[in-house]
Structures are given as structure tokens and as C-alpha cells.
């Protein structure tokens, strides 16, 4: 089980934490037929199966973990119509249901949740639990700052939603364009990284948004309090993990990936209990 740091528990209890949900969380879901969302690797390989040859150079990019360039070439080769059809078949049509891990994340009762996921699994669950009162914003909205300052739950879709495939951030060119056209959004992310603790769940350390966000915040502002990322044990060599933690001001909390990562969900359930205990203490002593 994950050993939860006291500082992280306290920040979540005081609602000074941003929950950042990656694609690894969505993989816990399934639909009525038992289908689960593909991993990014599986999705990109599935897309390549629908392309004409040659594609060896794209395979090489994937092996080198250059996903953005590979996505650029795949989307270009497929064409807009086929790309949108595949994306909708993967993220919308299956009607995935929320998993236990989504329930536990919701129980943490964080005001702010950010996700780069195209699917609608978490926000659909959150909207159903809050009778539609949860606000959902997108990286291109110009009123995100106002939404953050208001009361209530807010989910920010950092890369767009399957509802608007033409606005998804999927390729290298789209990332670069978003950082220019939606500069206000990335400025808000940076501000949040200085005032809140981020906990990244179901994400990888190679995510370009995460790397840029944490490296900039650390080296520009020399913040000493770390952010947190949950990661299966053994994904990174211990020396590599140390370098990542030091360069990104990040504390990686490891868990076992056995039994379909069940330890992660169990650990989050334990975290919910710890947070509720601290909130009860805060209600008694008033030291919010």
C-alpha cells in the first residue's frame, strides 16, 4: 500500500490540492461488453494498422517515446475523417462506465481536477453525483480563471474533449499551437503549481505538459515543497527516478501493478479515510 505523506493528506483535506487524472485512470473502466480503453501505445498501433505502408519510421518514433511526432504523422496519414472516426469509436461510442478508482477520486472532494483525457468518464460520473453542478471547462475557454475563483467543483479538460474532435490536442503541432493561442491557460497552470499541491495519477513523467509545468515552477521559483505522482513500482530505475524527482521537484509514490493495479485503488480508498479524519479534526479545532 502507498504510504501517504502527512503534507499531502493535509493539503487535500484543506482543498489546496489539484487532482491531475491521466489515461491510466481511464483504463480501469469498461463498458457493458467488457471493453476497456486502450493504452496510448495500443491506440497508436491500432491507428497504424488502419494506415497504408510504409510506417517503419513511425514505429521507430514510438520506440523512442517520441509520441507527439508519431501522433503528428499518424493523424496526417489517416486524414481528418478517419482520425475522427477512430477517436470517437475509442472514446465515445463504447459508453465506458466509471470504475471504483473514479469513485475514490471523487470522494477526495477536491475543488480542482485537471485531466488531459479525451474521454468523458470522470466528468460524467462527477456530474451525476453532483446533480449537474460540477463545472467543466476546456483549455481554450477564456473564463477559466473566474471558474477557479468561484465555489464548487471544477474539472478542466486540458487537451479538449471527444465532443469536439477538431479542438483536441493530439499532435506536436497542436501542442505548439495551444501554447501560443491558449497562453492564458498555461499561465494559470503555473500559478496553480505555486499555490497548490498537484497529485498526478495515471500519468507518465514524459508528458510534455507535466515536464514543462514542474521544471519551470521549480527552476524559476525555487519552490521547496514537492508535487506528487503515483507510479507503478519498477517502471523507472531508482537512479532515473531520483533524477526525475530532483529536476521536477516531484515525489514519486510507488505501488504494485499486480492484479491490474488494484493496490492503487485500495490505497486511494485509504487516502479518502485519512483525509476525512483530518477534515474532522479541522472542523473541531477551526484551524483551516
Mean pLDDT of residues grouped by 10 in the chain (288 residues)?
Answer: 96 97 94 91 90 85 87 93 94 94 97 96 97 96 95 95 93 92 93 94 87 80 85 91 91 93 96 97 87
Q: How much is the CA Rg of the chain, to the nearest whole Å?
A: 19
User: Helix 67-78 and helix 56-63: axis angle, to 10°?
Assistant: 150
Query: Dihedral of the CA atoms 221, 2, 128, 282 (nearest 10)?
Result: -70
CA distance 62 to 69: 9
CA distances (Å), origin 260, targets 25, 97, 126, 256, 265: 11, 17, 24, 9, 10
Which domains does the chain carry? 6-29+98-285 (3.40.50), 40-91 (no CATH)
Q: Are strands 227-232 and 112-115 parallel, antiparallel or unpaired?
A: unpaired
Contact 99, 110 (CB under 8 A): no
Q: Which of 148, 253, 197 is nearest to 17 (CA)?
A: 197
Distances (CA, A) of 258 to 64, 206, 231: 26, 23, 13
Rounded to an integer, what distance in angstroms lies between the CA atom of residue 91 and that of residue 35? Answer: 11
Tell me, what's the pLDDT at 102?
A: 98
pTM of the full predicted structure?
Answer: 0.93
Question: Residue 188's pLDDT is what?
Answer: 94
Say if residues 280 and 254 touch (Cβ distance below 8 Å): no
What sign for the dihedral angle of Cα 65, 169, 177, 201? negative
The pLDDT score that the predictor gives to residue 207 is: 83
The H or E element containing residue 154 is strand 154-157
Predicted pLDDT at 105: 98
Amino acid at each position: 500500500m502507498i504510504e501517504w505523506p502527512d503534507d499531502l493528506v493535509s493539503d487535500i483535506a484543506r482543498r489546496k490540492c489539484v487532482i491531475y487524472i491521466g489515461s491510466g485512470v481511464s483504463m480501469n473502466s469498461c463498458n457493458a461488453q467488457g471493453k476497456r480503453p486502450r493504452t496510448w501505445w495500443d491506440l497508436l498501433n491500432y491507428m497504424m494498422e488502419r494506415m497504408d505502408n510504409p510506417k517503419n519510421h513511425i514505429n521507430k518514433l514510438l520506440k523512442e517515446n517520441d509520441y507527439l511526432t508519431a501522433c503528428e504523422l499518424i493523424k496526417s496519414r489517416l486524414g481528418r475523417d478517419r482520425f475522427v472516426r477512430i477517436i470517437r469509436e475509442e472514446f465515445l461510442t463504447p459508453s465506458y462506465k466509471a470504475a471504483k478508482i473514479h469513485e475514490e477520486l471523487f470522494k477526495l472532494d477536491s475543488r480542482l481536477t485537471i485531466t488531459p483525457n479525451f474521454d468523458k468518464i470522470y466528468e460524467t460520473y462527477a456530474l451525476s453525483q453532483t446533480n449537474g453542478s460540477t463545472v467543466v471547462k476546456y483549455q481554450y475557454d477564456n473564463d477559466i480563471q473566474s471558474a477557479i475563483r468561484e465555489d464548487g467543483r471544477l474539472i478542466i479538460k486540458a487537451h479538449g474533449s471527444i465532443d469536439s474532435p477538431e479542438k483536441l490536442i493530439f499532435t506536436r503541432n497542436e501542442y505548439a499551437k495551444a501554447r501560443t493561442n491558449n497562453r492564458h491557460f498555461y499561465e494559470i497552470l503555473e500559478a496553480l503549481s505555486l499555490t497548490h499541491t498537484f497529485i498526478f495519477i495515471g500519468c507518465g513523467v514524459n508528458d510534455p505538459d507535466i515536464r514543462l509545468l514542474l521544471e519551470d515552477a521549480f527552476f524559476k521559483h525555487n519552490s521547496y515543497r514537492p508535487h506528487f505522482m503515483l507510479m507503478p513500482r519498477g517502471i523507472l530505475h531508482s537512479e532515473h527516478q531520483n533524477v526525475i524527482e530532483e529536476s521536477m521537484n516531484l515525489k514519486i509514490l510507488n505501488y504494485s501493478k499486480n492484479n491490474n493495479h488494484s493496490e492503487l485503488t485500495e490505497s486511494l480508498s485509504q487516502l479518502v479515510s485519512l483525509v476525512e479524519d483530518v477534515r474532522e479534526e479541522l472542523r473541531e479545532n477551526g484551524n483551516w
